[in-house]
């Protein structure tokens, strides 16, 4: 069966045929490819068509598909069993490795996804501060927990409403929405809700609604405001952690959040998330403290080993090479776009994250995204798909370059674009 008929069949069994909506190719006027194999920088569909993969599982695969060291370690770990529901050394080793390398954390708890990490961070912040409200920014994504599926209300200023059906008004009431880049609004909200705000959540490099890079001064101002109002600053580094640098945006900016959440790269392609911070904050968690959190498959030994062996490869030299791969690839793409019908495009990027956008000026706020984006993107996506180049299948998702996107792949990319 080809991808089209598999997708038709899947529609009968699975809502929308997919297990995560961003896989659905919505607005792309074509059906999702069913993938059956991936290695290095390449992914192959059921029709045996091979693509250079720039989606890379939406971020985790910074080493490319099937990194040999990860594969070997995972295979070896399997020989010892794949779930104990008990203490084991794999997660201890990963925890120790991370805490030795990231200066502002000294306790960490592993969970199974980025969403779970954020959900736990919210509860820790509330438990630790004894306050209920949280601030989040329009244009940042923090997974699909109720408290984060909130947007600014359309009516009265300062009100918020859910961005998904099924989220109660009580929950949306406790999440306050600010605009990215506007520090005055954050200050106003802190004043308006004096003594009520537990935490400010931000993606320090917002990369889930396009790529909306924020200024250093802005992030510093958030840090100061949180300190002043006894609220915790939470960096959601699920996408930026281990991507822009080992220590994520916290390392790049030198700003220390009170809590950090990780996901994606931390599991090397296996389901892992983590929430970390200072012991004083983290120790509110059960069984020491009274903030409850648990997980049957948390710190799964196979996933822990994958994470550790993945993270051990992320040296300073690794990042130089990865960023060089990205520069090379983006200049190839840019040249091709200029010569073709995409000359209005500019590829926004930070380190190995990139976002093709029909807008030349810098952008740091979702309001600045051109309204033509969807229509323009579906053409770009289709042309590249036909050439065997797989972008993230959504106009608002960034692309990812891995260490496997090396010189050979770069030459192949040229071949595919102009060949």
> Minimum distance from CB of 395 to ligand PLP (Å)?
16
Catalytic: which of 53, 236, 258, 412? Answer: 236
Neighbours of 39 (CB within 10 A): 14
- How buried is 353 (Cβ within 10 angstroms: 0-12 exposed, 13-18 middle, 19+ buried)? buried
Residue 236 found at the interface with ligand PLP (CB under 6 A): yes
Residue 113 found at the interface with ligand PLP (CB under 6 A): yes
Residue 24 found at the interface with ligand PLP (CB under 6 A): no
350: its two tokens: 């930070």
DSSP H or E segment with residue 350: strand 346-350
Closer to ligand PLP by Cβ: residue 23 or 142: 142
- Sign, Cα dihedral of 39, 70, 98, 91: positive
Residue 244 found at the interface with ligand PLP (CB under 6 A): no
Residue of 32, 40, 127, 263 interacting with ligand PLP (CB under 6 A): 263
Task: Name beta bridge partners: 44.
Answer: 37, 50
User: Count residues contacting ligand PLP (CB under 6 A)?
Assistant: 15
Query: Does residue 264 have an active-site annotation?
Result: yes
Closer to ligand PLP by Cβ: residue 23 or 264: 264
Residue 388 found at the interface with ligand PLP (CB under 6 A): no
* Tokens 């799964």 sit on residue: 300
Residue 251 found at the interface with ligand PLP (CB under 6 A): no
406: its two tokens: 């090396």
Q: Encode 222-257: b = buried (16+ Cβ within 10 Å), e = exposed.
A: bbebbeebebbbbbbbbbbbbbbbbbbbbbbbebbb
Whether 348 contacts 206, CB under 8 Å:
no
> Minimum distance from CB of 406 to ligand PLP (Å)?
25
- Name the residue whose CB lies closest to ligand PLP: 114
Residues in 282-321 at the binding interface with ligand PLP, rule: CB under 6 A: none
Residue of 40, 64, 139, 143 interacting with ligand PLP (CB under 6 A): 143
Stretch that binds ligand PLP, among 113-121, 167-175, 381-389, 410-418 (CB under 6 A): 113-121
Closer to ligand PLP by Cβ: residue 54 or 345: 54
Closer to ligand PLP by Cβ: residue 175 or 328: 175
Closer to ligand PLP by Cβ: residue 95 or 212: 212
> Minimum distance from CB of 118 to ligand PLP (Å)?
6
Residue 272 found at the interface with ligand PLP (CB under 6 A): no
> Minimum distance from CB of 111 to ligand PLP (Å)?
9
Closer to ligand PLP by Cβ: residue 328 or 392: 392
Distances (CA, A) of 386 to 8, 96, 176, 317, 329: 21, 46, 43, 34, 18
- Give the list of residues 6+ apart from residue 378 with CB closer than 8 angstroms, or none: 27, 28, 29, 395
Stretch that binds ligand PLP, among 64-72, 137-145, 186-194, 354-362 (CB under 6 A): 137-145
Query: Does residue 138 have an active-site annotation?
Result: no
- How buried is 106 (Cβ within 10 angstroms: 0-12 exposed, 13-18 middle, 19+ buried)? middle
> Minimum distance from CB of 144 to ligand PLP (Å)?
7
Residue of 114, 204, 210, 269 interacting with ligand PLP (CB under 6 A): 114
Distances (CA, A) of 389 to 5, 8, 195, 281: 22, 23, 51, 45
Residue of 141, 235, 262, 377 interacting with ligand PLP (CB under 6 A): 141
Task: Return d(Cα 419, Cα 411) in angstroms, integer.
Answer: 11
Query: Does residue 141 have an active-site annotation?
Result: yes
Distances (CA, A) of 354 to 20, 123, 206, 243, 287: 21, 32, 12, 12, 41
- How buried is 387 (Cβ within 10 angstroms: 0-12 exposed, 13-18 middle, 19+ buried)? middle
DSSP H or E segment with residue 123: helix 114-129
Closer to ligand PLP by Cβ: residue 203 or 251: 203
Residues in 32-91 at the binding interface with ligand PLP, rule: CB under 6 A: none
Residue 239 found at the interface with ligand PLP (CB under 6 A): yes
Residues in 155-214 at the binding interface with ligand PLP, rule: CB under 6 A: 203, 208
> Minimum distance from CB of 413 to ligand PLP (Å)?
25
Tell me which residues are annotated as active site: 141, 236, 264
Binding site for ligand PLP (CB under 6 A): 113-115, 118, 141-143, 203, 208, 236, 238-239, 263-264, 273
């Amino acid at each position: 069966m080809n991808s089209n008929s598999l997708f038709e069949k899947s529609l009968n069994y699975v809502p929308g045929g997919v297990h995560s909506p961003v896989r659905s190719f919505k607005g792309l006027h074509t059906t999702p490819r069913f993938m059956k194999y991936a290695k290095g920088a390449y992914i192959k569909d059921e029709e045996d068509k091979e693509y250079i993969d720039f989606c890379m599982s939406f971020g985790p695969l910074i080493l490319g598909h099937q990194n040999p060291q990860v594969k070997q370690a995972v295979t070896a770990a399997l020989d010892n069993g794949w779930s104990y529901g008990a203490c084991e050394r794999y997660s201890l080793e990963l925890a120790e490795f991370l805490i030795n390398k990231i200066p502002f954390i000294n306790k960490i708890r592993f969970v199974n996804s980025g969403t779970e990490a954020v959900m736990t961070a919210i509860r820790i912040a509330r438990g630790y501060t004894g306050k209920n409200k949280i601030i989040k920014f329009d244009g940042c994504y923090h997974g699909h927990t109720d408290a984060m599926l909130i947007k600014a209300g359309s009516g009265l200023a300062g009100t918020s409403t859910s961005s998904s059906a099924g989220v109660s008004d009580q929950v949306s009431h406790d999440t306050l929405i600010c605009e990215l880049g506007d520090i005055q609004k954050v200050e106003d909200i802190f004043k308006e809700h004096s003594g009520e705000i537990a935490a400010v959540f931000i993606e320090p490099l917002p990369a889930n609604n396009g790529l909306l890079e924020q200024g250093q001064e802005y992030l510093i101002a958030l840090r100061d405001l949180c300190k002043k109002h006894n609220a915790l600053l939470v960096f959601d580094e699920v996408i930026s952690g281990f991507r822009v640098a080992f220590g994520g945006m916290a390392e790049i900016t030198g700003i220390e959040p009170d809590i950090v959440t990780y996901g994606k790269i931390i599991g090397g392609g296996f389901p892992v998330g983590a929430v970390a911070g200072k012991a004083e904050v983290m120790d509110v968690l059960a069984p020491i403290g009274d903030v409850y959190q648990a997980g049957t498959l948390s710190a799964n030994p196979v996933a822990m080993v994958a994470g550790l062996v993945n993270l051990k490869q992320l040296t300073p030299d690794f990042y130089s090479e990865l960023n060089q791969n990205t520069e090379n690839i983006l200049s190839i793409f840019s040249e091709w776009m200029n010569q073709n019908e995409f000359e209005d495009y500019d590829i926004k990027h930070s380190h190995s994250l990139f976002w093709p956008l029909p807008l030349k000026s810098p952008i740091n706020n979702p309001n600045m995204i051109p309204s033509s984006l969807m229509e323009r993107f579906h053409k770009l996506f289709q042309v590249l798909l036909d050439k065997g180049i797989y972008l993230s299948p959504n106009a608002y998702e960034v692309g990812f370059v891995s260490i496997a996107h090396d010189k050979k792949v770069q030459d192949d990319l040229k071949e595919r674009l102009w060949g």
